[in-house]
Structures are given as structure tokens and as C-alpha cells.
């Protein structure tokens, strides 16, 4: 039989075994728990919490690099002002966020253990862009032309972007249409009006090469710049064009339909010309000869309002006769007013200076002046002055 002492030894041994087993289990549990905690801490140190959005994009469970790439692929990274409203857009060539900013947001939301708390981050750049575009809506430019002030509001620009410190006016159809309407209202090239002749009659004349027009492409360019730089007014007189020999504007700002008070008037029916300086008739020529009226070759002197393109002395006139042969005529004084070759000059070869010479035996379109009178004409004619022919 076992003694009591032996039984006590057995019980103590069993007790120690149980303690070791329990201790081992505890150590295993602690080891597993520690490993899991380590794993959790490692994960949360590298990944975003689940309920995190940056610039509207879900980045929960992503690393900083993964989040950066996803945001740049998917987020709205720019904005435009479209028909007065802010519209967000994604442009593949633009970066919405960089690694440093993504890391900053990660540090702000980071917790040692996973968190279900929502975290939202808006783009400060996009916010600033919104404010810039909203500010554009308040802008306007007063376009000054021909004594008129036209207010052009920003609402005429239907699409606007902002980048690199400047506004980009992307859709300007309405602004261009408004500019065309202003041009139609103010341009004088091709414009017809009533003119009182030196003889006292009223005739309808049309500007041909004389006059000016709004140079719309150049004006649109400076208008865009004015909107960008928030300039409130634009002097339109700096962006005009003319036609003919010179593309400079003619007659801008002058009274009397833009003719001013220094001009030349030629009456075809009277075969007569008047030369005015500062409103005074300084010379009258009553025996000139204009282009042949009864001609199938178009030799008649063209009617309308032109301008003296330049003055040349002496000069050689070149052209074709009605039979197709060429001519070379030496003249002492030449003052053209059309690109087709019409102008004032002396005609030493002419013998018929009658009032009816122009009907069948006139010039090829020029205004012939007697050699004895041409110097007087030369002395009073100025380059650029209008020539009204009726």
C-alpha cells in the first residue's frame, strides 16, 4: 500500500504539471496575442484606416503610395467656370496630390489600432481654384470705340479655366458675337451715307478703301488679356485696320462721316474736281478727264470714297490698252487712289479736254489733269486724304 507520503508527492507533482501546462498555455496565448498586436500595429502603420476619403476618393486600406496613385488617377483635380457654374474635372496630365501631401494626410488620420471614424480631406488647391473662378464672374471690361462705351461682362465668356496664375478664356463665342455686333454698328469701311457736294446737291456715296474697321482678332486677344489682368477698360482705337495700299485705319475720330474737312471731290458728270483744306476750297479744276464711260473693258473711274495712297514724281504708268497692247506712259506727277491703278496725273499726250471727252475717249480710269495745272494739284494733295468720286 502507498504511504501517505507517496500520495502527497504524487499530488504535488500533478499540481506542478498543471501549473506548467497553464503557464505554457498562457505563454502561447500571450505569444499569439502579441504577434497579432504586432501585425496590427505594423498594418496600421502602413495603411489608411477604412473610412478615409481624400479629395473624394476612398483610400481605406491603401498604403501611402497606393493612395497617391489612386487619387491622381481618379480625383477631380481641376475646375472650370462653365455657364456661370463651377464644374470639377479630372485631367490626366495634372497631378492632384504628391507623396508628401499624401503622407501628411496619413499621419493626421493614423491610429495605432484600426478606427472606423470617418476622415475627409478636401483639396486646398481646388478650393483656391474655386475662389479664383468665382472672382472671375464679377469682372467686366468697358470697350471704348468711336465715342461709345460698351460694357462687356464676364458672363459673355461661357467657359473659363485658371492655371499657372492666369485665366484661360476657353469658350468666347458670345464675346466674339458681341464684338461683331459692335463692329457692324461702328465700322466705316463699306459704309454708305449722304454727302453734300460742293455744288450743293446730296448724293449717296460708299466708302471703298477709305474708312476703318475693328480688327476683331487683335481686339479679342487684348480683351482676353484685359479679363485675365482685371483691367476694367480697353481703348479700341488701338486695334483697327484699313484697306487698300495701307492697312492703317483712315478717318477714325473725324467728323463729317469720318472725312474730316480736308478732302477731294470729283464729279464725273461735271468733269470737275474740288480740293478742300480745313473746310476751305483751295483749288478747283474744271477741265479734267476721267475714265471712259462708254467702255466694255471697265475703264470708267470707280465711284465711292478712296484715299490718296502715295505721291510720286516722276513716275511711269504701265497698263494695257483696250486692244490688249501694253502702254508705258511717263508722267511728272502721280497720285494714285486705287490699287487697280487709278489716280491723278498729268496727261501730256491728251488733246481732247472737252466736257464730253470721258464718254468715249476718256482715260483707263485715272483722272487726267492738264500739264499746266498738275503742279497746283500736287501742291495741295496730301497722302491719306479721302477722295470722293460720284
Q: Is residue 252 part of a domain?
A: no
* Residue 78 neighbours by CB distance under 10 Å: 18
Are residue 118 and residue 143 in the same domain, yes or no? no
What does the pLDDT read at residue 42?
A: 86
Are residue 384 and residue 297 in the same domain, yes or no? yes
Domain end among 75, 95, 127 = 127
Quote the domain boundaries for residue 310.
Answer: 263-389
Gap between the Cα atoms of 159 and 115, Å rounded: 43
Residue of 117, 118, 110 lying closest to 47 (CA atoms) = 110
What does the pLDDT read at residue 34?
A: 65
Residue of 371, 349, 378, 372 lying closest to 361 (CA atoms) = 349
Q: Is residue 345 part of a domain?
A: yes
- H/E stretch holding 199 reads none
Are residue 174 and residue 119 in the same domain, yes or no? no
Residue of 96, 105, 307 lying closest to 188 (CA atoms) = 307
Domain end among 241, 276, 304 = 241
CA 260 to chain centre: 33
What does the pLDDT read at residue 18?
A: 76
pTM summary value: 0.80
Gap between the Cα atoms of 64 and 98, Å rounded: 10
Are residue 21 and residue 56 in the same domain, yes or no? no
Are residue 364 and residue 296 in the same domain, yes or no? yes
| Whether 277 contacts 377, CB under 8 Å | no
| Whether 325 contacts 386, CB under 8 Å | no
Are residue 383 and residue 278 in the same domain, yes or no? yes
* Residue 337 neighbours by CB distance under 10 Å: 31
What does the pLDDT read at residue 8?
A: 66
Q: Which CATH number fits the domain that encloses residue 307? A: 2.40.440.10
| Whether 51 contacts 60, CB under 8 Å | yes
Are residue 286 and residue 326 in the same domain, yes or no? yes
What does the pLDDT read at residue 90?
A: 94
Domain end among 127, 156, 187 = 127
What does the pLDDT read at residue 27?
A: 67
Gap between the Cα atoms of 61 and 114, Å rounded: 10
Are residue 167 and residue 187 in the same domain, yes or no? yes
Q: Mean pLDDT of successive 10-residue segments in the chain (390 residues)? A: 63 73 71 70 93 97 97 96 96 94 96 93 94 97 98 98 95 98 98 97 98 98 98 98 95 97 98 98 98 90 98 90 77 97 97 97 96 98 98
> Could you give the C-alpha distances from 3 to 7, 8, 9, 10, 17, in angstroms and in order?
7, 9, 10, 11, 22
| Whether 87 contacts 158, CB under 8 Å | no
How many domains does one find in the chain? 4
| Whether 154 contacts 142, CB under 8 Å | no
Q: Is residue 321 part of a domain?
A: yes
Q: Is residue 246 part of a domain?
A: no
Q: Is residue 164 part of a domain?
A: yes
> Could you give the C-alpha distances from 338 to 142, 193, 298, 389, in angstroms and in order?
36, 20, 14, 12
What does the pLDDT read at residue 297?
A: 81
Are residue 162 and residue 219 in the same domain, yes or no? yes
Residue of 244, 171, 185 lying closest to 214 (CA atoms) = 185
Are residue 71 and residue 25 in the same domain, yes or no? no
Q: Which CATH number fits the domain that encloses residue 216? A: 3.10.20.800
What does the pLDDT read at residue 278?
A: 97
Are residue 354 and residue 290 in the same domain, yes or no? yes
Q: Is residue 47 part of a domain?
A: no
Q: Is residue 123 part of a domain?
A: yes
Q: Is residue 44 part of a domain?
A: no
Are residue 197 and residue 304 in the same domain, yes or no? no
Amino acid at each position: 500500500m502507498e504511504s501517505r507520503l507517496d500520495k502527497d508527492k504524487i499530488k504535488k507533482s500533478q499540481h506542478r504539471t498543471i501549473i506548467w501546462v497553464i503557464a505554457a498555455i498562457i505563454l502561447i496565448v500571450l505569444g499569439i496575442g502579441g504577434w497579432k498586436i504586432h501585425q496590427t500595429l505594423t498594418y496600421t502603420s502602413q495603411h489608411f484606416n477604412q473610412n478615409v476619403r481624400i479629395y473624394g476618393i476612398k483610400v481605406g486600406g491603401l498604403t501611402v503610395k497606393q493612395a497617391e496613385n489612386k487619387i491622381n488617377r481618379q480625383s477631380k483635380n481641376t475646375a472650370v467656370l462653365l455657364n456661370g457654374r463651377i464644374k470639377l474635372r479630372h485631367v490626366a496630365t495634372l497631378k492632384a496630390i504628391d507623396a508628401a501631401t499624401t503622407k501628411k494626410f496619413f499621419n493626421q488620420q493614423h491610429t495605432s489600432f484600426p478606427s472606423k471614424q470617418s476622415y475627409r480631406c478636401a483639396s486646398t488647391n481646388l478650393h483656391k481654384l474655386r475662389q479664383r473662378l468665382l472672382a472671375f464672374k464679377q469682372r467686366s471690361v468697358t470697350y471704348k470705340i468711336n465715342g461709345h462705351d460698351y460694357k462687356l461682362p464676364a458672363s459673355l465668356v461661357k467657359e473659363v479655366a485658371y492655371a499657372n496664375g492666369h485665366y484661360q478664356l476657353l469658350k468666347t463665342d458670345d464675346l466674339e458675337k458681341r464684338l461683331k455686333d459692335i463692329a457692324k454698328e461702328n465700322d466705316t469701311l463699306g459704309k454708305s451715307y449722304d454727302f453734300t457736294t460742293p455744288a450743293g446737291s446730296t448724293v449717296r456715296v460708299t466708302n471703298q478703301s477709305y474708312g476703318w474697321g475693328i480688327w476683331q482678332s487683335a481686339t479679342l486677344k487684348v480683351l482676353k488679356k484685359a479679363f485675365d489682368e482685371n483691367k476694367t477698360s480697353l481703348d479700341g482705337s488701338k486695334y483697327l485696320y484699313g484697306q487698300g495700299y495701307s492697312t492703317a485705319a483712315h478717318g477714325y475720330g473725324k467728323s463729317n462721316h469720318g472725312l474730316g474737312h480736308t478732302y477731294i471731290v470729283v464729279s464725273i458728270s461735271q468733269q470737275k474736281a474740288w480740293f478742300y483744306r480745313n473746310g476751305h476750297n483751295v483749288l478747283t479744276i474744271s477741265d479734267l478727264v476721267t475714265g471712259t464711260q462708254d467702255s466694255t473693258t471697265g475703264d470708267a473711274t470707280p465711284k465711292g470714297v478712296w484715299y490718296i495712297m502715295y505721291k510720286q514724281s516722276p513716275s511711269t504708268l504701265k497698263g494695257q490698252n483696250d486692244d490688249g497692247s501694253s502702254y508705258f506712259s511717263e508722267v511728272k506727277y502721280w497720285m494714285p487712289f486705287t490699287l487697280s491703278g487709278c489716280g491723278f496725273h498729268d496727261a501730256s499726250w491728251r488733246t481732247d479736254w472737252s466736257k464730253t471727252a470721258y464718254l468715249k475717249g476718256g482715260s483707263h480710269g485715272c483722272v487726267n489733269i492738264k500739264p499746266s495745272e498738275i503742279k497746283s494739284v500736287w501742291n495741295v494733295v496730301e497722302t491719306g486724304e479721302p477722295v470722293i468720286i460720284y
